[in-house]
Structure 1
Amino acid sequence: MTEPMVTFEEKPTRDGGCIGVATLNAPDSLNALSLTMIHALHARLEAWAQAPAVHAVWLQGAGGKAFCAGGDVVALYHAMRGAHEGGADVATAYFSAEYRLDHFLHHYPKPLIAWGDGVVMGGGLGLLQGAGHRVVTDTSRLAMPEISIGLYPDVGASWFLSRMPGGVGLYVGVTGAHLNARDALDLGLADRFIPHAAREDVLDALTRADHRSPHHAVRQVLEAFEARARAPEAQVMPRLDHLQALSDGADIATVVQRILDDTREDAWLAANRERLAAGCPATAHLVWRMLCRHRHGGLAETFRDELALSVQCCRHTELAEGIRALLIDKDKAPRWAYPDVASVPPSYIDGFFMPLWDADTHPLADL
């Protein structure tokens, strides 16, 4: 029998209640989120939110390598390839469900602990950001790597990247920079650092805690296990002035050229330059516009705007080409519509922002 792609367990607590444990169970794909997984997770979290016996919820990934590596873009690719059979409708359904789940997590009424262990990228970072208690470990590797596939940082990233120190969110978004646990803490992407090996001990402590005040109980347990002194060395903050100087341009073409022209001998910066150089030129423009649009906006507004843009990305050629090159044919030689960021005309990017729905018919109008 095939195991479910999301598993659920209720760990008894000493007072007769329980801790709800939800596990993303697709380790072969690093727990990439399928539409089926999104629906299953949302339904159970809603049920647990209403269940008096459930004191808190723990969200984790199976396999030991990843919390969640992002959305199931391979399935999305096949839907786009069959656009004449309703591919755009599939994209609307997928992104609507994903963003609705993310928004729900941001407003979850009970303590929600996300164990952000291993790979946390794309849609996985969206899940982590929604949790009330965002835990990272010594194995955590976070990124918004959409520049490599011709999408853009979504799942609320237009909102949370714009709230990083000036210029850093833009740099992270256009380079797909890999961040460690210390970076996540420094940039407001995580709340706690707990060693990877302590997971079972933390869960056990949660079952033994006094949950008369669940939020207080969870906070006490996580605080007891926190070990920030053991976090890896920061990558972002020691380079903050340099990253801000690179990102301080009047337009995205200027910023990208500054990053690519940077000659500092630094392995982390070099990896980011390489990723940007091979990435989708249109994506850089989308990152720029979305961060500008949502610097002062609200979260629900961001998700509604992201939904329209994500569906438009599925209607354009870049996303399908990027997924093909990276994950289908795996030739790593995408044929982007334009050779570099400077050559992308504003009119082409304007096409991504053509409205698909009015305020009343938008699939996320009720957020």
Structure 2
Amino acid sequence: MADLCRSSTFFSDQNLCNADIIGSSEARARIEVAVLNFLKILNSPSPAISDLPLISRRWSNSRVNRGLLTEVSCIFLSHSFCTRSLMRPNAAKAFVRVWKVVEMCFQILVQEKRVTQRELFYKLLCSSPQYFTCQLQVNRTIQDVVALLRCSRYSLGIMASSRGAVTGRLLLQAFISETVDCSACGSSGHAISGDMNLLERMVMKTDARYIIVVEKHAIFQRLAEDRVFNQIPSILITAKGYPDIATRFLLYRMSRAFPDLPILALVDWNPAGLAILCTFKFGSIGMGLEAYRYACNVKWLGLRGDDLQLIPEESLIPLKPRDLQIAKSLKSSEILEENYRNELEVMVQSGRRAEIEALYFRGYNFLGKYIAKKIVQANYV
């Protein structure tokens, strides 16, 4: 996979700390080396096994890498360490969890299998119930293992569990498989595979002029049912909410395969919608060392503050505490462009949010007209 973030030609900051995409044999070798180093310390005259150094996944260790010769910017982590410690009661179990997941990954690689995070959770729940009680613990520990071994979760045999779908003017052909015409897949679209290797090898063809990222599956279905991609020559893609890895990776692949196509996001006018857009655009701290790998140059098409005139006052909903929490997190980060930050301020000051469905007040076929008008206004034609 091409990796612009490593190139000094394209990026000025070379403190990027990343997770490599490697083969299963090298991944097994990294696990073996990690275990041998651990045993070496354990067998030393004065064992010092209390701390396990990991790349910190806190906002304080993150930076935004802004391209010099590319419009893509991304979140990355620097070489600042945190620890999982046996000396602190609240961190001791996290220390053990890392080795439990490392052991499980080694077994998966030896058996040449692929598992989802959900499958891994149930396996660990049955084998180590005293350490794993919820999916979140598994997800966080997987990121700890990625930070320890410096290789992607897919390299460790962990497959993305995809929720996403794609439709519109796109032909997909996997190795020795029939070509899929995404425009003929109905209103639910073509389900995006969680197999990253398959997505990497996918051959894609299009005559579209735009790629449109749609926050909600219901809106995606409405646009697909109305075949908006014929009125506006486009590819529509959705993660059905917060973006999963597979959907982000397919969008990244499309951005590389069709570099001239603008990527436009249609999200709710609220902090969560903006957070979803920023995840597609910059990556996420939650992805740790893999965050930068899926960043794309996504533009905010709508809803925007100037669209509120199209929506009845009765359709505006008060902001929830969760909205305010997301807004606070976004404002404290470095990723927001000035116009996005201003828009977020307006949301918070107004105390209200607007959802895309509110546009149905003007008719169920209005969405296509709205998108076409916004494209012209933004000069993407």
Q: TM-score range, shorter-chain basis?
A: under 0.3
TM-score in terms of structure 2 length: 0.25
If asked which structure has higher relative contact order (CA below 8 Å, sep 6+), I would say 1
- Which structure has greater strand proportion? 2
Which one has the largest radius of gyration? 2
TM-score in terms of structure 1 length: 0.25
